[in-house]
Amino acid sequence: MKSKPLNMMTALAAGLAMSAGAVAADPDATLVINGEIPIVTRTEAPAHLEGALDEIRSGWTFRTKETQALQMDDFENPGMGPAEEAMTVWETADGTEGKSCADCHGAVEDGMKGVRAVYPKWVESAGEVRSIEQMINECRTTRMGAEEWQYIGSEMVNMTALISSVSRGMPMNVAIDGPAAETWAKGKEIYYTRFGQLDLSCANCHEENFDNYIRADHLSMGMTNGFPTYRLKNTKLNAVHDRFKGCIRDTRGVPFGVGSPEFVALELYVASRGNGLSVEGPSVRN
């Protein structure tokens, strides 16, 4: 679907400065990680986006060729170092129960394969939709007798990167029906709500104006299949709620709290927009 032009208010507020194509990017490039993990970066939009988008694209397709290349090889991907650090944590006992993640889940590539592709998800025992971060802290406090990690702290982001890495290539497939439907609808409402002094919604940038530029930023579709994401801009792994927080702050609005019901709902909705794209995390972005 061809992106729509920014309206006058958005253009003035956001400072649209470049046209698409001003920075070298290859939207038709093929992503294969380590020469053996094919990644779907473009596919038909899920049914619930009918009338909004015909095709969905990974954020990888909007990046420069140089940035794209970093994700093709784990030795070049700066996000893989933190994920490897988390492997040691996975196997290390912690808390009053003297248990490690591996004690319950086994090898991460076995116990966690496919997990990233279906989260956030409805957790019956909790009676709510939960993110991977919430489930990690649930394990730490109730099974390990350990302290919670900060929701977007380095220990948490490293672990979610490790968990994501073993599902790379699998299609995103978050459930939006049944008991998750109410949370999904709340997330959709937030996605289309304008925030801040700039009066912008997620959709204004990532649905109506993807492939355009705001200043030097090439707007993507805002898909989350690549999170956690190593951003060259701040040279660290970034959690999805950290990115949500930054986007709302950029509108000069007041963000919801990380791990809040609002951000979990938004995460579910945005993840569902990427159903069919491959899990990529830890990905590399500008």
Which residue from 128, 119, 259, 227 is spatially nearest to 175, judged by alpha carbons? 119
Q: Residue 200's pLDDT is what?
A: 96
Tokens read off for 114: 């496919």
Which residue from 149, 127, 118 is spatially nearest to 261, judged by alpha carbons? 127
Please report which residue ranges of 62-201 form alpha helices under DSSP H: 65-70, 80-90, 101-105, 108-111, 115-118, 132-138, 154-165, 181-191
Please report which residue ranges of the chain form alpha helices under DSSP H: 8-14, 65-70, 80-90, 101-105, 108-111, 115-118, 132-138, 154-165, 181-191, 202-206, 240-250, 261-273
Q: Residue 24's pLDDT is what?
A: 61
247 is an active site residue: yes
Binding residues, by number, are 101, 104-105, 139, 202, 205-206, 243, 247
pLDDT at residue 13 is higher than 70 = no
- Residues 52-110 have pLDDT tens digits of 999 999 999 999 999 999 999 999 999 999 999 999 999 999 999 999 999 999 999 99
Q: Residue 274's pLDDT is what?
A: 98
Report d(CA 206, CA 212) in Å as an integer. Answer: 10
Q: Over the chain, what is the mean pLDDT?
A: 92
Rg (CA), the chain: 19
- Residues 222-263 have pLDDT tens digits of 999 999 999 999 999 999 999 999 999 999 999 999 999 999
Percentage of the chain surpassing pLDDT 70? 92
Binding residues for heme c, by number, are 101, 104-105, 139, 202, 205-206, 247
Assess whether the previous peptide bond of 171 is cis (omega < 30° from 0).
no
Beta pairing, strands 217-218 & 213-214: antiparallel
CB atoms within 10 A of CB 122: 21
**Catalytic residue, candidates 247, 258, 270, 279:** 247
Domains of the chain (ranges, CATH numbers)? 33-284 (1.10.760.10)
Return the DSSP state at 225.
T
pLDDT band at 214 (very low <50, low <70, confident <90, very high): confident
Binding residues for substrate, by number, are 243
- Residues 144-163 have pLDDT tens digits of 999 999 999 999 999 999 99
pLDDT at residue 143 is higher than 60 = yes
pLDDT band at 172 (very low <50, low <70, confident <90, very high): very high
Residue at token pair 């093929």: 30
Which residue from 106, 89, 67 is spatially nearest to 226, judged by alpha carbons? 67
